[in-house]
Amino acid sequence: MKIQFEKVNYRYSPNTEEIFQSLSWRSTSPETIGLLGVNGSGKSTFLRLLGGLIKPSSGKILLGGTSISGISSVKSKLCFVPENARLFLMGPSLRRELKRLNKSDAEISTLIQKSDFDKLVDKKIYLLSEGQRRLIAIWLAFQLDRQIILLDEPTIGMDINGKIIFSKLLEKAVSSGKTVIIASNDSRILPLFDRISVIQEKGIKLDGSPKEVLYKLEKTTNLIPNQVVRLISSMNDSGFDIPHYTNISELNAYLTRIERRKT
């Protein structure tokens, strides 16, 4: 589903500074998009605007060519999981959450068998860790029949196993025609993105493939990229052409040769 922001301005109240100023942005095909930006740049506000939770001061936000007028106009098309998973989950257990999605007992059993939550399905949600609650909320969002999924800081408190589950959900979502927009600066999940959009200076500062954006991050934004990206970027700027390597030892051997050559 096509998503469009057309010259969107937004401020919390008439007396506050604008968060966005003439922001224009679009997504035209199923993809996983990473929304990056320093704290306070407007990542969560971007998601809330798209989710119909707040309205722009001016400009338009369109889904499939139709301007959204509030949460009622988008609730059948998208799902928004906020940073605080408790605002998404109603409880008291995962099984009850699935019941609320009008799933039959047979469907619930099949879903749980295919998931990693067989030991958590009947456990009280308030007894789960914050990371478990967040992962369950995200998993539930992907069970809904929605074309667009919005996730705000989904990996806080997520362990390695959770990241594996999360990456599988993203892979399946895009292959089934969904667009997933993730507000996060977590470098661990950068490889999962098809596209990165960086919010800065009340608009979109950088937008493109991860490779294109990551090499420009440090020079053009207030974000600090992954240290490996910084290393490769600095080496390339110094005139060194770094080839692709399959393991760390080969890269170390190459860097050692470079150091010897310099001395």
Rounded to whole angstroms, the Cα distance separating 31 from 181 reads 8
The pairing of beta strand 3-10 with beta strand 58-63: antiparallel
Between 174 and 229, name the one with better pLDDT.
174
Rounded to whole angstroms, the Cα distance separating 98 from 111 reads 9
Q: Choose the weakest-confidence range: 2-16, 70-84, 149-163, 240-254.
A: 240-254
Q: What is the pLDDT of residue 231?
A: 56
197: which 2 tokens? 């959009």
Say if residue 158's pLDDT is above 60. yes
User: Which fold is adopted by the domain 3-220?
Assistant: Rossmann fold (3.40.50)
Q: What is the pLDDT of residue 246?
A: 47
Between 199 and 259, name the one with better pLDDT.
199
Q: Which of 109, 90, 110 is nearest to 100 (CA)?
A: 90
CB 24 within 8 A of CB 208: no
pLDDT in tens, 103-130: 889 999 999 988 888 899 999 999 999 9
The residues of the chain that CATH labels 3.40.50.300 are: 3-220
From residue 180, alpha-carbon distances to 33, 163, 167, 223 in Å are 6, 16, 12, 22
pLDDT in tens, 178-228: 999 999 988 888 888 999 999 999 999 999 988 888 878 878 888 876 555
- Alpha-carbon dihedral sign for residues 103, 107, 108, 114: negative
CB 193 within 8 A of CB 207: no
Q: What is the pLDDT of residue 248?
A: 56
pLDDT in tens, 20-67: 999 999 999 999 999 999 999 999 999 999 999 999 999 999 999 999
Residue type for position 243: P
Rama region for 156: left / alpha / beta (φ>0; ψ in -120 to 50; rest): beta
Interval 152-176 mean pLDDT: 91
Indicate whether this model's pTM tops 0.95. Answer: no
21: which 2 tokens? 């100023």
Q: What is the pLDDT of residue 28?
A: 93
Rounded to whole angstroms, the Cα distance separating 205 from 21 reads 12
